[in-house]
Amino acid sequence: MKCSGCLIGCLQFFRLSVTSLWEWLIDHDVVPGKMMCRKCQQPAKFLFYDFSFRCWRPRIVRKGSRMVKVQCTFHQSARKGSWLGNSLSSVIDIAHFCSLWLCTSYPKTVKLKRITGFTSLTVGNWTSACRETCISWASNPARRVGGQGTVVEVAEAKFGEKRYSLGRKKDVCWVIGGIQRGSSKIFLVHVDKQGKETLRRVLSENVLPGTSVINNCSNVYGTPSEQDSEQSDENHGLQFVLSNNSDADTRNAQRMLRRLRKFVPKGRKREQFQGYLAEYVFRQAYRPKERLHHFFVEASKVGSSRGSMIA
Ligand SMILES: [Zn+2]
Ligand SMILES: [Zn+2]
C-alpha cells in the first residue's frame, strides 16, 4: 500500500477528478493498479473509460497444423474481486456514497437516497457493506484498550425498547462500554445478559493485561474485594480498583454511553447493534479527515467477500 496515512475531508474527496480518485483508490489497495494478462503473462493495459484491463497483444497459436497470428482478447474489470465488487453503480458513486455515509448522522437512509439518487435497495446494501467494514475494523485484536499502568473506566447501559403491546417480546440488550482515561480509545460490546462471566469475557477480549479497571457494575458482577488472588489469572491480568463513588469515577464511560444512546436510532433490533457500535467506535477513533483513509484501508482487507454480491 502506497499511502501510510492521509488527511482528506468529505468535500475534498468530492472534488477529486475521476483519475485522481481512481489513483487514490489504487494507493489504498481498494482496486489493483496493475494486472497481468492471463493468456500472455504480460501486463494488461488499463482503460479509464470502463475501469478495466485489456490486452491486444498479437500471439502465435497453433490452428491444426498451422501456426497463426491472433490478437489477445483478455478483458477483466478492475473491480472484480475488490470491495467495490460487481456493482451496477459506478466506482465514483460508490466512493462518494461511502464518504457521505461516514460523515452523515442518523437517520441516514433518506438523506443518502436524496443526495445520491440510489434506490432504497442500493442504499441498504452499501450501508450494510460500510457497517461490515467497521465491524471488521473493530474486531481486530490490536484494537484492545488499556495496558500496563493505564486506567479503563467501564460502564453499562440498557438499550432497546420494551414492547409489551401486541404480544411482542422485549427487544432489549445491554451495552458494556469502556474508555481509557487520557485517550480516545474506547470499546463497546452488546451482550444479551448480565453476569460476572459476561463481564470477564468482555474485558478479556477488549482490555489489555496490566490495566486497572473501574466499573459501576459491581452489584451485578461482583465487588473488587471478591476478586481474590487466585482469580487474578481468570481476570486476565486485570486489576479491579476499589471505588467509593463509582458513578463519579466512571463518568467518562457513562458520558460515552449517553452519547451512544443519541447516536443509535431508536427501535433497532439486537442483531443490528454490533454494526452501530462498531461504527461509533470507528468514528470516535479518528478525526473526520482521517476516517476516509482508515475506512478504505479496511475495505481493501475485507475485499470482495461482500462486494461481489452488491446490487
Ligand atoms: Zn491515505
Ligand atoms: Zn494478453
From ligand 2's centre to the CA of 301, what distance in Å? 28
Ligand located closest to 29 CA:
1
Residue 1: per-residue pLDDT:
74
From ligand 2's centre to the CA of 54, what distance in Å? 8
Which residues are found with C-beta within 5 Å of the ion, ligand 1?
3, 6, 293
Mean pLDDT, consecutive 10-residue stretches, the chain (311 aa), reads 87 92 92 88 88 89 86 89 79 91 88 90 91 92 87 86 57 86 90 81 87 71 49 60 66 91 82 89 92 94 58 43
From ligand 1's centre to the CA of 192, what distance in Å? 37
In the chain, what are the domain boundaries?
144-279
pTM: 0.84
Fold of 144-279: Nucleotidyltransferase; domain 5 (3.30.420)
CA distance to 34, 91, 104, 166, per residue, from 297 (Å)? 18, 16, 20, 45
From ligand 2's centre to the CA of 302, what distance in Å? 29
From ligand 2's centre to the CA of 63, what distance in Å? 18
The position carrying cell 486489576 is: 239
Contact (Cβ atoms closer than 8 angstroms) between residue 34 and residue 43: yes
CA distance from start to end of the chain? 28
From ligand 1's centre to the CA of 147, what distance in Å? 28
From ligand 2's centre to the CA of 40, what distance in Å? 4
**CA–CA separation, 147 vs 239, rounded Å?**
11
Where do the DSSP E strands lie in the chain?
45-47, 52-54, 58-63, 66-71, 75-77, 151-161, 171-180, 186-191, 212-215, 239-240
**CA–CA separation, 192 vs 175, rounded Å?**
9
33: number of Cβ within 10 Å: 13
